Amino acid sequence: MRILVAMSGGVDSSVVAGLMAEAGHDVIGVTLQLYDHGAAVGRKGACCAGQDIYDAGSVADRLGIPHYVIDAEARFRAAVMQDFADSYAAGQTPVPCVRCNQSVKFGDLIALASDLGAEAMATGHYVRRVDGAQGAELHRAVDEARDQSWFLFATTQQQLGRSLFPLGGMPNKDAVRVEAARLGLPVARKPDSQDICFVPSGSYAEVVAKFRPDAVQPGEIVDEAGTVIGTHEGVARYTVGQAKRLGAAAQHEGTRRVVVGLDAARRRVVVGAPTAGSPVVKLREVNWLVTPAAFDCHVKLRARDTLRPARVVPTAEGAEVHLAVPALAAPGQACVFYQGDRVLGGGFICAA
């Protein structure tokens, strides 16, 4: 069958393209150009395409498959980068990879696959698609360390039905590199990518500042009673539950204090004693991969969280998650529902 492979230029998606071609499929390689690489690394006159796009092209050439580069800059800027900055400006901690998966990858690329007569899109994500009685199910990868199911919770049932994840069953990354070498791919030894792709310098505050200068304006640090106890360098630089950048405000009469709230409207960082968090977490934009109903399951409140026992209850706005043990939940992050290895859905965490 004809399969569109989303190729990033990294080892994982390159191996996917290789495996699909080897299996005899009619493979079309597509690489999204998401942002101006030259501008992102601050090199004037540099090509808009980074090394990864060239690597994807080399891999496709090696495999003898057609390869195309799609200009997704405008869409990525609006759907991912702007949302990223807006979330920080609102005192939240966004997950841009989820937004990217929701919009350009599983939205636009699957539409492109349809337009090109491809029956499915294959990606290098470490998750498994299991075809159950009710259709395609999303499951965690075999390799727990590489599992990306948390980042894919927003994939709709329909998108899931058109997606293939050939690496979900791989035992570990080394096995993927062995496959890359066996297929003779020039990226077999390429290092893994790190961090957020459009923040190559690691300084996300610079990116936020470009879109939302207000989010990096100085303001007051206050305690829970509203007493001003210091100044900060912009709400976008703070995360609930952390003490980073609080300076002297991180200590009060010998006890440790952390950020307990971000009041974006008044540009205030609120500090207080570290708490165990809340027993109830409210979610918005919930994606259900089962019929919405109250159920007991496990949840993850962060990408690398442990599984926490909880009860999920659908609401008009989304869902409420009743945690067996109270926990800190950062607004803007995702809460994903698991039953065993299966993802039942998830949503974005609302401000308390």
Partner 1 sequence: MAYFDANATEPLRPAARAAVLAAMEAAGNPSSVHAAGRAARRVLEESRARLAACFGAAPAGVVFTSGGTEANALALHGLGIGRRILIGATEHDAVRAAAPGAEMVAVDTTGVADLPALARQLAAGPPALVCLMLANNETGVLHPIADAAALCRAHGARLHVDAVQAAGRLAIDLPALGADSIAVSGHKLGGPMGAGALLLAGDPALPPLMRGGGQERGRRGGTPALPAIAGLAAAAEAAVADLPDQLRIAALRDRIEAAATVAGAMALGAAAPRLANTTCLALPGVRADTQVIALDLAGFQVSAGAACSSGKVAASHVLAAMGLGALAGCAVRVSLPWNATAEDADRLDAAYLEMAGRLLRRAA
Q: List residues with catalytic annotation.
A: 100, 197
Shortest Cβ distance from residue 159 to partner 1 (Å)? Answer: 16
Shortest Cβ distance from residue 60 to partner 1 (Å)? Answer: 10
Shortest Cβ distance from residue 55 to partner 1 (Å)? Answer: 11
Convert residues 76-115 into a mask of x (bound to partner 1 by CB under 8 A) and - (unbound): -----------------------------------xx-xx
Contact flag: residue 342 with partner 1 (CB under 8 A): no
Contact flag: residue 28 with partner 1 (CB under 8 A): yes
Residue carrying the six token digits 């912009």: 234
Instruction: Give the residue, chosen from 22, 42, 43, 71, that forms a contact with partner 1 under the rule CB under 8 A.
Output: 71
Contact flag: residue 33 with partner 1 (CB under 8 A): yes
Convert residues 34-53 into a mask of x (bound to partner 1 by CB under 8 A) and - (unbound): -------------xxx---x
Give 118 or 286: the residue with its C-beta nearer to partner 1: 118
Q: What phi and psi values does residue 49 have, to the nearest 5 degrees?
A: -95, 135
Binding positions for partner 1, 116-155, rule CB under 8 A: 116-117
Number of residues that bind partner 1 (CB under 8 A): 20
Which residues of the chain form contacts with partner 1 (CB under 8 A)?
Answer: 28, 33, 47-49, 53-54, 57, 66-71, 111-112, 114-117
